[in-house]
Amino acid sequence: MAARVGVLSLQGDFARHRASLESLGVDVRAVRLPEDLEDLDALVMPGGESTTMLRLIEDYALREPLARFVRSKPVLGTCAGVILLGKDGQHLPSPPLGVLDISVARNAYGRQIDSFSTEVDAPPLAGRFHAVFIRAPRLAPPGPQVEIVARRLPEAGGEAVGVRQGKVVGLCFHPELTSDTRFHRWFLTEVAGLDLRSPASPERVPLTAATRDAS
């Protein structure tokens, strides 16, 4: 049976995560209500606006079920998703879920116009990854309980931009906005331990208008 992965679909670029996951042969379910979390193998929390997402999480009575899910099952958070998973954050309407033991500074690279993309080192991929940062959060230097899975290149300061703590992964950038699905594949197979059936088409997500205009 195909792996069944939820994508939190309250706000943000959840459609792009769906496209990346479906290209890997995964059954994707949009998560908006508590019952949508039932029987999922893993969950992805997209980029977007963390304040809006937190408000909607409360409005949709998702806080408790989501907090339970992320404590026991694999979860990947990208950009705003990292803010939701971290242990603190500024100007949030309610506390984040706190399963990543890391301090997060929101919008710390500047405003939307300061968004950028760059190569990062990605040890679990044994190479580099082209990372898109959009009003991205910055992470405080993580403690030893947190594994660094992506970092800026040495000449850019080498700071951590992706972390893993057990089954929880947080990336400050947007792998779903590129056609490169290596981080999704690694999360599904190595972190979540899922078997992927071979995708019907090559493992590249076609670049579309949605890709270019997202976020």
Q: Given the rule CB under 6 A, which residues bind ligand GLN?
A: 47-50, 79-80, 83, 106-107, 134-135, 215
Q: Report the C-alpha gap between 2 and 196 in whole angstroms.
A: 7
**Separation of alpha carbons 14 and 19, rounded Å:** 9
Active site residue 190: no
Least CB distance from residue 57 to ligand GLN, whole Å? 13
Instruction: State the minimum distance, in angstroms, from the CB of residue 52 to ligand GLN.
Output: 8
| CA count, 13 A, side-chain hemisphere, 164 | 16
- Give me the catalytic one of 17, 172, 176, 184: 176
Is residue 79 flagged as an active site residue? Answer: yes
Residue 174 a catalytic site member: yes
Q: In whole angstroms, how close is the CB of 200 to ligand GLN at the nearest point?
A: 30
For ligand GLN, give the closer residue by CB, 24 or 80: 80
Active-site entry in 22, 64, 130, 174: 174
Distance CA 53, CA 55 (A): 5
Closest CA to 83 of 48, 41, 109: 48
Name the amino acid, one letter, at 177.
L
Q: 26 vs 83, which CB is nearer to ligand GLN?
A: 83
Residue 133 and residue 120 in contact, taking contact as beta carbons nearer than 8 Å? no
Q: Nearer to ligand GLN by C-beta: 134 or 168?
A: 134
Nearer to ligand GLN, 93 or 193 (CB): 93
What's the CA dihedral at 142, 144, 145, 147 to 10 degrees? 70
- As annotated, the active-site residues are 79, 174, 176
